[in-house]
Amino acid sequence: MAELDELLGIAVAAAAEAGAALKQHRTKWAVIQAEQGREVKIDADKKAEALILTALEKHAPYPVISEEAGWVHEDRRSSLVWAVDPLDGSVNYLRDYPHCAVSIALLRNDEPILGVVDCFVLGECFTGIVGQGAWLNGAPIQVSDIPDPAAGILHTGIPARASADSMAKFEKRLSAWRKVRMIGSAATALAYVAAGRAEAYRESGSMIWDVAAGCALVKAAGGVIEITGPGLDRPLEVAAGNGKSPLPE
């Protein structure tokens, strides 16, 4: 198996290539192909995904679970799986709102161990390896040390697959924190927790490709994560935080 720092370099390069293409071709690629509820699919998602999958296949051909393609080379015997969101925050990208990102993670036995969140519009690339550290454009980052939710910032979102129960929990969650932010990109929101810009993240109905890289960053930066659900290709409950304040319920 390749060393994790080598695999991180592969993921960083793949994310950078996709991010550069997304910036260069935004006018042509920001075209809606399908809409389902609050979710949209645009040309950019599939075009960026193709670049990433080609790079991973060439340099580190582990199985992949990706937002657009689903499972690629699925092999349940493999302990390592890439999780790819080629464009997290498609609506933001479509509307020229800067919070969107290329997100690439490596999972070992379904646990995120390595992550890259390339916020290409803002020129911020967050990287991390669990047990080794996390970085923003090469400089070390760590989670904040604020212990009280009443003094902290929570990143969250309205559940895309909302139910009456999930919305009730969502409303209760809002009252516990000093400030609540909904920026429309789970990967970016989690990266901000890793960098100490917010204390916690919580969302219902996320998919593993939405959150895997960001969760790896949080853990690598000294925080804690909690991912529960029936499988990698099913909606998940995800919480992450600095380890000082309690995880949002």
Q: Which residue has the tokens 């559940």?
A: 159
Whether residue 2 has pLDDT greater than 70: no
pTM above 0.85, yes or no: yes
The sheet that has 139-141: what strands, in order across it? 70-72, 64-66, 80-88, 101-108, 111-119, 124-129, 133-136, 139-141
Q: What's the Rg (C-alpha) of the chain? A: 17
Report the C-alpha gap between 249 and 57 in whole angstroms. 38
Report the C-alpha gap between 120 and 88 in whole angstroms. 11
- Residues near 167 by Cβ (< 8 Å), separated by ≥ 6? 158, 159
Looking at residues 213-234, what average pLDDT do you find?
A: 95
Report the C-alpha gap between 219 and 107 in whole angstroms. 13
Q: Name the strand (E) or helix (H) holding 12.
A: helix 4-24
Summarised one tens digit per residue, pLDDT across range 156-175 is: 987 565 567 767 777 777 88
Predicted pLDDT at 31: 82
Summarised one tens digit per residue, pLDDT across range 104-122 is: 999 999 999 999 999 999 9
Summarised one tens digit per residue, pLDDT across range 47-93 is: 999 999 999 999 999 999 998 888 988 776 789 999 999 999 999 99
Bridge partner residues of 136 (DSSP) = 126, 139
* Domains of the chain, CATH where assigned: 4-141 (3.30.540.10), 149-241 (3.40.190.80)
